[in-house]
Structure 1
Amino acid sequence: MSEHLFSPLHTDPTSGLTYRTQARPPARASRLLVLLHGVGGHEQQLAGLLPLLPPDWLLVLARGPLQLGPQQFAWFEVQFGSDGPRINAAQAEHSRQQLVSLLASLQCQFGVVPEHCTVAGFSQGGIMSASVALTSPGSLGRFAVLCGRILPEIAPILAEKSSLALLDGYLCHGEHDDKLPVSWAERATAWLTELGVPHTLQRYPAAHQLTAAMAQDFASWLTRH
């Protein structure tokens, strides 16, 4: 996607996170969508979703606070071993707190109520989306985990079930994902069901990627509400 479609990087003074919006944001946004990239990606990783959104939606592309290399960022460090992914839990928690703060700042700045806010992300970005939603459901109305998982580390800080029941979640996952096997999506949907979180899970014949079909179905879920 062309650079001119998005603004230069902004730094949110409250959270310290940087982000981009459309170069020409709507004068009055009806909905706010915050997209989070995966580990080793950058904020424009999901920029291709912009044409799928209604023109009165405000899109925010947030950048992870950890720099791994040139144009490579993350929300927390992770290592993959035979026993599955192992994360830096302190970094994940700090990023979660930063995102909650960023949401409050954006909602105040653009006049969007939390119920009209969606946070979604690919892989590690999806992980962070779920972490924010399940621990701070008053910050948003909906969340989406695109080829990600839900961190078991957030269990001690989950919100009350009465608050979680007001959320709406969306999960999609490739059946041939070799980074985060589809079993993570199955665990996620089982946990969400146990918590009473309304949600949808869709599987695709894909690897660890966001295919055109996934993107279109995600956009359809976003805009049908």
Structure 2
Amino acid sequence: MTTSLYHLTRPSSLKDNAPLLIMCHGYGSDENDLFSFAQELPEELFIISLRAPYPMQPFGNAWYAINFDAQQNKWNDVEQAIESRDKISNFIDEACAKYPVDKNNVTLLGFSQGTILSYAVALTYPEKVKNIIALSGYVSEDMLPKNLKNTRFSHLDFYCSHGSVDQVIPVDWARKAPKFLDQLNIKHTYSEFPVGHGVAPQNFYELKSWLKKRI
């Protein structure tokens, strides 16, 4: 059975019904980036690291284009982002059909642009995921359905973190996420670390222990 997005896998120590962790890398990166975390994560996890669908030059991939105008303002290609959101959603179904995993125990782990997409997938298709690890990203409301108030989110749980001196995505953007999730009565943890656009060791240990309690 073929799947729609190229990916790497690390099998679980469990023969079946393994908790599934899907990784979504950032803009200009690839599936190898977050996969380096895999050896440090609980062995019962079945881990998949996705490659985003849009190749960049000279290397790397993107979930959607980021365009710069003459004033160096940047804006997102929201149509492409929504397509990628739906591609990840479809991939979750494909992975649950192809691999010996528990479709009711799916975690998304994103970094940067991959986090923006992880928020979008979870808030658009909440029935497909359980936990979300949102590293160095933010909620982009233009990638979400218009009326979220009627959706059932009670089972979702988010771990959100950001670097307090992030020079790529301002920390103020990330700080809006807890308020946004509060309004929807969604469980969440939010942490900041004194780093730039990256994952500090303390950040990794914290997300790992958060995840261990939830798989």
> Fold match, TM over 0.5?
yes
- The structure 1 residue matched to 2:165, chosen from 160, 176, 180, is 176
Displacement after TM superposition at 1:31 (Å): 0.7
The correspondence of residues 110-125 of structure 1 with structure 2, limited to 5 A, is 110-125=99-114
Contact 2:81-2:143 at 8 Å conserved across structures: no
42-51 or 95-104: bigger deviation:
42-51
- Measured in 1, the distance between the counterparts of 2:78 and 2:99 equals 31
After TM superposition, which residue ranges in structure 1, 4 or more long, deviate above 2 angstroms? 24-30, 79-85, 110-115, 154-162
1:201 aligned residue: 190
Q: CA RMSD of the aligned region, Å?
A: 2.1
- Measured in 1, the distance between the counterparts of 2:124 and 2:157 equals 14
Q: Structure 1 residues 152, 46: closer, same or farther in 2, change over 3 A?
A: same
Amino acid at match of 1:62: L
Deviations 1:58-111 (A, max 9, x none): 000000000002440010011367796410011000000000000011112224
Q: Structure 1 residues 25, 113: closer, same or farther in 2, change over 3 A?
A: closer
1:186 aligned residue: 175
Amino acid at match of 1:46: L
The correspondence of residues 28-177 of structure 1 with structure 2, limited to 5 A, is 28-79=16-67, 85-157=74-146, 159-177=148-166
- Measured in 2, the distance between the counterparts of 1:142 and 1:129 equals 10
- Measured in 1, the distance between the counterparts of 2:147 and 2:9 equals 30
126-135 or 75-84: bigger deviation:
75-84
Q: Structure 1 residues 142, 112: closer, same or farther in 2, change over 3 A?
A: same
Displacement after TM superposition at 1:52 (Å): 2.2
Greater percentage in helix? 1
How many pairs does the alignment contain? Answer: 212
- Measured in 1, the distance between the counterparts of 2:125 and 2:148 equals 7
Displacement after TM superposition at 1:182 (Å): 0.8
TM-score, normalization: structure 1?
Answer: 0.87
Contact 2:85-2:120 at 8 Å conserved across structures: yes
Contact 1:147-1:172 at 8 Å conserved across structures: yes
Amino acid at match of 2:105: H
Structure 1 vs Structure 2: percent identity of aligned residues? 28
Q: Structure 1 residues 80, 205: closer, same or farther in 2, change over 3 A?
A: farther
1:3 aligned residue: none
Q: Structure 1 residues 74, 219: closer, same or farther in 2, change over 3 A?
A: same
Amino acid at match of 1:73: N
Q: Structure 1 residues 202, 147: closer, same or farther in 2, change over 3 A?
A: same
